[in-house]
Amino acid sequence: MKTIITFLAIIISFSLIAQPTSGPIVQTASGKVQGVTEGDVAVFKGIPFAAPPVGEFRWRPPQPVKAWEGVRDASQFGASCAQGGWGAAPGTIAQGSSEDCLYLNLWTPANTKSNAKLPVMVWIHGGAFVGGSGNTSGNGFAKQGVILVSINYRLGRLGHFAFPALSKEHPEEPKGSYAFMDQIAALKWVQKNIEAFGGDPKNVTIFGFSAGGVSIHSLLTIPSAKGLFHKAIGHSSGGRDGVLTGRPINKENASQYYPVSAETIGINFAKKHGIEGTDAAALARLRALKVEEIVDGGQENDGQGGPRIYSGPILDGKLVAETTTSAYNAGHQARVPLMIGNNSAEIGGNFVNQSKSKEELFSIFGELKDEAKSAYDPDGNKEFAEVQTRFNTDKVWAEPARFAARSVAAVGNPAYIFLFSYVPSAMKERMKYGPGHGTDISFVFDNLGIGGFGPPPPPPTAEDKEVARIMNAYWVNFAKTGNPNGNGLPKWPIYSPKTNELLEVQPDGKPVGKTDPTKARLDVIEKAVNMGDKLQPNGI
């Protein structure tokens, strides 16, 4: 499943080749940068927000950028963070990726003055925390008066790693989830520098997809991230512990999925590479490994189905002080508006469980079996593949998103839920039950027609373009005001547990505010979760 998500993340981490016509220069805290003008948008790429995390800085919090003299060229993307990637040969990393990768990109309306105070959106890419890239295109937002910032953050074992000697080194520093530290460092860069580009540091919206959406929940609940943003949007982000990555938020006995400490997983990785012991000398040998050996093909175990060698996000007790679920239940999250949702047919197959039939799938609900049948297959005539796809979607994405929205509403902040059910015209034959994981992203960015592997998709239809225009407008409104509604748009109702309303972008492309059509399904999932949750995912 990890490969599927990495593939999808690469598809939506698209790049546009533009013809520069001029080069705007902006003074940042570290030096001047010169971007390019693409029509009515100014673009700045490859701006460092931290020092390269290499050598002695591998598995250290992001370090300050070294100031430069003169004007730095910001016309080209920096490297994506080191990853195995789709089709990468054994012993290599994906083309265009590197351990030196802590760069961000920025799109702003051309000729924006430094006192413009435009709203800012910060995009966090997906990729299961092992792949993907922030090298995307923000033109669709910049054309609507919003500054779009996209970031890269460390992936795989470079982004999440623990080891006994590492825990003892620099005891004053946070440990474990360096990916989240990178994201926080980028947000601090925005606070320090965005005014020079015409942005308002007091109006920053973070948004992300898949693992980037999990990051949104983490940033909402990590104490040191509070105050760095003012609104949040989660795309296919879940909202409960572990249900998206399926990996542990590691600490002894902290995870219901893998009750193995992150340090133990780090020791397993060291042993795979012939490194014995847990002292400083062992850590030095780990830091001496080539980046290709650290990435290790993106493997999560020793390659033989044995011990785990990659942890995923880590509950260290300092940076990540508590799990997302516990933070939401206690009302400890940042007090900001939230927009959250998913596609109607995220992923099929045995993503959550190994059931081979409807009867087997419903049986995992135990005493809720009949209620599950009634919710998912009331007439008894649905195909197993459809039921399984709906179940995967609800368990991993939709019910956890409702839980997060309910938690936000409970502390008095507005929450808005979306359900994206529109299938692009060119994909209707392939997406039988609805749009899959990541389908909504190109519509939100208003950047259609960009392909992934193989030939590009057919040109978007007028209907596709209209859906993209409307989606982008909702997101722009939310970034500007904290409310997605605006002139000329169908009303998006605020979420309330009493009304259970959301906005569905229907199969015909029309956005409609309505009572959640999946409520019965989500209710039975929620009951199963509250009864001990026998519906645990396999993970991605």
**Rounded CA separation 106/120 (Å):** 10
Q: 464 falls in which pLDDT band (50, 70, 90)?
A: very high
For the chain, the helix, strand and coil percentages under 3-state DSSP, each to the nearest 5: 35, 15, 50
pLDDT at position 249 = 36
| Model pLDDT for residues 255-264, shown as the tens digit of each residue | 333 346 899 9
| Model pLDDT for residues 169-228, shown as the tens digit of each residue | 999 999 999 999 999 999 999 999 999 999 999 999 999 999 999 999 999 999 999 999
Element housing 329 (H / E): helix 324-330
Q: Does residue 280 register a pLDDT over 50?
A: yes
Computed over every residue of the chain, the mean pLDDT equals 89
- Strand extents, DSSP E, 163-291: 199-209, 231-235
Instruction: Give me the half-sphere count of Cα atoms (radius 13 Å) on the Cβ side of residue 60.
Output: 17
Span 38-64, mean pLDDT? Answer: 97
**Rounded CA separation 383/370 (Å):** 17
pLDDT at position 232 = 98
pLDDT at position 299 = 82
**Rounded CA separation 448/459 (Å):** 8
| C-alpha closest to that of 300 among 265, 255, 264, 271 | 265
- Strand extents, DSSP E, 88-160: 97-98, 103-109, 118-124, 147-151
**Rounded CA separation 447/452 (Å):** 13
**Rounded CA separation 483/405 (Å):** 14
Residues catalogued as catalytic: 210, 346, 437
Burial class of 206 by CB neighbour count within 10 A (0 to 12, 13 to 18, 19+):
buried
Say what percent of the chain tops pLDDT 70: 88
Q: 535 falls in which pLDDT band (50, 70, 90)?
A: low
Q: 317 falls in which pLDDT band (50, 70, 90)?
A: confident
167-174 own/partner pairs: CB under 8 Å, 24+ apart: 167/263, 169/280, 169/283, 170/60, 173/60, 173/61, 174/61, 174/224, 174/316, 174/318, 174/319
Q: Does residue 132 register a pLDDT over 70?
A: yes
pLDDT at position 257 = 33
Element housing 525 (H / E): helix 519-530
Element housing 3 (H / E): helix 2-12
Which pair of tokens denotes residue 371?
């209620």
pLDDT at position 17 = 34
